[in-house]
Amino acid sequence: MAARVARPRRLGPARRQVGDRFAGRLFRVYIPVAIFTFVTLFPFYWMAITSIKSNSELLDHTKNPLFVLQPNLQNYADLFFKTNFIHWTINSALVAIASTSISLLCSILAGYSLARLRYRGANAIGWGVFVTYLVPPTLLFLPMAFVIAQLHLFNNYLSLILTYPTFLIPFCTWLLMGYFRGIPRELEEAALVDGASRVQAMVRVVIPLALPGILSAGMFAFTLSWGEFLYALVFMNDTVVKTVPVGVVNELIKGDEFFWGELMAAALLGSIPVALLYSFFVDYFVAGMTAGAVKG
């Protein structure tokens, strides 16, 4: 018998459908995600390579700026041993943690009151909180400076710890009001029927269910406190008590001379605490959202 000639197989409808599906996902998912990742991470890459370049390589425009030929850590050594960067970092951490804690405590109580309790003027107060959040801090630093001067708190951490909640509390309160309103009232009423007080129902029922919102408000408040510049510039004049944003700008920019290596090293190190905060709490945030959806 003559050998049969093998015929090329044709792609079936299933294979064509899989190929079309992959092409659709490529243009709808993978390429946009790749572009977003590149745009997001490129500034950190630029700060990293600039911070390990020598001054001669940094100012040599004939070389490719995207690569480092002779990496060194001299900029980091100058930043740690020739400036007060460690003190600035400690100051920023203390101010951010204290102001965030105060803001969260006040925001939880205010958000719960406006969202769960019925009393006259609650709606007007809620809108007042929202309008207060819209007022930019640049309009308030002059009266704030007058108050701080009257209290003799210049070059004192309390000047920042007391002023930062003025713009953190309205933001956190407005954010938490939405989370508190999304929790069914029947759960809280069941706790009250079982003999719990209003405070016990809030602490044991409402706050655990609103934990994703509380974590979100805390992360945003910490980020705003860590990177705040205007109040720290006005209230802190001594080099030792400055925060990272103000200390880096004042000490590493001398007139028209920019110490780019130290600036990029400080910017990279200054972004690490916020990045660690988000990376540490993102699992708790997603777990809380999933648990809340399952319970709902």
Give me the domain span that covers residue 112. Answer: 76-295
For position 58, what pLDDT does the model report? Answer: 84
Is pLDDT of 184 > 90?
Answer: no
CB atoms within 10 A of CB 259: 20
Query: If pLDDT is split at 50, 70 and 90, which confidence band does 47 have?
Result: very high
Do 97 and 24 belong together in one domain? no
**pLDDT tens digits along 95-113:** 999 999 999 999 999 999 8
Query: If pLDDT is split at 50, 70 and 90, which confidence band does 16 have?
Result: low
Do 91 and 180 belong together in one domain? yes
**pLDDT tens digits along 185-210:** 888 888 888 888 888 888 888 898 88
Q: Rounded mean pLDDT of the chain?
A: 84
Is pLDDT of 296 > 60?
Answer: no
Overall average pLDDT of the 171-187 stretch: 87
Do 100 and 29 belong together in one domain? no
Cross-strand bridge partners of residue 257: 254
Query: If pLDDT is split at 50, 70 and 90, which confidence band does 285 have?
Result: low
Q: Residue 26: CA atoms inside 13 Å, Cβ hemisphere, count?
A: 6
Distance (Å, whole) CA 76 – CA 81: 9
Q: In this structure, is residue 13 part of a structural domain?
A: no
Query: If pLDDT is split at 50, 70 and 90, which confidence band does 258 have?
Result: confident
Overall average pLDDT of the 21-49 stretch: 86
Distance (Å, whole) CA 198 – CA 191: 9
Q: What angle do CA 278, 130, 183 make, to 5 degrees?
A: 65
- Domain harbouring 181, CATH code: 1.10.3720.10
Query: If pLDDT is split at 50, 70 and 90, which confidence band does 288 have?
Result: very low
Do 174 and 242 belong together in one domain? yes
Residue pair 172/217 in contact by the 8 Å Cβ criterion: yes
0.85 cut: is pTM over it?
Answer: no
Do 22 and 50 belong together in one domain? yes
For position 95, what pLDDT does the model report? Answer: 95
N-terminal to C-terminal alpha carbon distance within the chain: 71
Highest mean predicted confidence (pLDDT) among 21-35, 97-111, 125-139, 211-225: 97-111
For position 256, what pLDDT does the model report? Answer: 78
Do 103 and 173 belong together in one domain? yes
CB atoms within 10 A of CB 220: 16
Percent of the chain with pLDDT over 90: 32
Percent of the chain with pLDDT over 70: 89
**Environment class of 27 (CB within 10 Å of its CB; exposed 0-12, middle 13-18, buried 19+):** exposed
Do 135 and 191 belong together in one domain? yes
Do 221 and 81 belong together in one domain? yes
Instruction: Give the number of domains in the chain.
Output: 2
- What HEC string does 100-152 produce? HHHHHHHHHHHHHHHHHCCCCCHHHHHHHHHHHHHCCHHHCHHHHHHHHHHCC
Overall average pLDDT of the 210-223 stretch: 88
